[in-house]
Amino acid sequence: MSLPSVECKYITEDCIREWKNGSTTFKPPSPAPVLRYLYELCWNIVRGEVAIHKCKLAVDLVEFVENVSDDDLASVFADIVSQMAQDLTLPGEYRARLIKLVSIYLTSMFVFV
């Protein structure tokens, strides 16, 4: 079970390019469903397209379709990364980024708080 390629609707090439260039105001397409947006964000972080430290910025800039609390965001994030972690065919560099993402979230709580 390998992670299939994701056709991103919300974390677009424009988002990635702007965030790589240091923009802190470029907004992704909104409104976005929480689950889909966070999955695309995690997928792009794991692939190395979006820097891990841009995660909080990416979440702060989007408007979600649903009314979502910080606890809900954390729960969805945990569901996504646990699903990704179950993939035993995930390449080593992807797994290392996934572990780093979770580690940063757990130790500093800066991702969604």
Read off the pLDDT band of 50 (50, 70, 90). very high
Distance CA 10, CA 37 (A): 6
pTM here is 0.86
Residues 6 or more apart in contact with residue 87 via CB below 8 angstroms: 1, 2, 3
Q: What is the mean pLDDT of the segment spanning 44-48?
A: 93
Rounded mean pLDDT of the chain? 86
Domain positions in the chain? 13-108
Q: In this predicted structure, what is the pLDDT of residue 108?
A: 58
pLDDT band at 56 (very low <50, low <70, confident <90, very high): confident
**Can you tell me the mean pLDDT for 93-98?**
93
Q: Which string of b and e fits 81-112 if b means at least 16 CB within 10 Å?
A: beebeeeeebeeebbebbeebbebbeeeeebb
Tens-digit pLDDT profile for residues 59-95:
889 999 999 988 888 889 889 999 999 988 888 999 9
- Whether residue 45 has pLDDT greater than 90: yes
